[in-house]
Amino acid sequence: MIRAEDGMKPIYVKIAEWLEKEILAGNFQADEKVPSQYQLAEMFNINPATAAKGLNILVDEKILYKKRGLGMFVSAQGREILFQKRKNVTLKNMVLDLILAGERVGVDRDQLIMMIKTVEIPEDQEGEEL
């Protein structure tokens, strides 16, 4: 669902991000139909044009494709595009935050790299989603 902490983002971005999370979670598979702009508008109590704008973001990114008269569907490569997007955006931001935090406490990049290499992941946290 859409969270309150996303309050500064436009609602159409929140819709796109919600659909991304649903695709990554496996709730929508390749070539599976996603909710229409009207279904999304009803689900989230928003204007259908706003929901359409969120869907179109994902079409522009080739995560969804349109079938005229039938709706929007997850593209064959949609999930992989999302994984790459997460890797290229989310992880880079996390690394930047880590570097800046390290610099604030006097830990340089080489020390951070060594720390990363030696950290053991607890079994109950392996494979957690971003």
Residue 19's CATH number = 1.10.10.10
The residue behind tokens 């599976």 is 32
Mean pLDDT of the chain: 91
Q: For residue 121, is pLDDT > 90?
A: no
Domain that holds residue 84: 79-125
Q: Are residues 101 and 60 in the same domain?
A: no
How far does CA 98 lie from the centroid of its chain? 20
pLDDT attached to residue 130? 46
Model confidence band, residue 8 (pLDDT cutoffs 50, 70, 90): confident
Structural tokens at position 24: 């990554």
Say how far apart CA 109 and CA 40 lie, in whole Å: 44
For residues 71 and 101, membership in a common domain is answered with no
Q: Domain for residue 102, yes or no?
A: yes
- Helical spans, DSSP H, in the chain: 11-24, 37-44, 48-60, 78-85, 92-104, 109-118
Tens digits of per-residue pLDDT, 24-83?
999 999 999 999 999 999 999 999 999 999 999 999 999 999 999 999 999 999 999 999
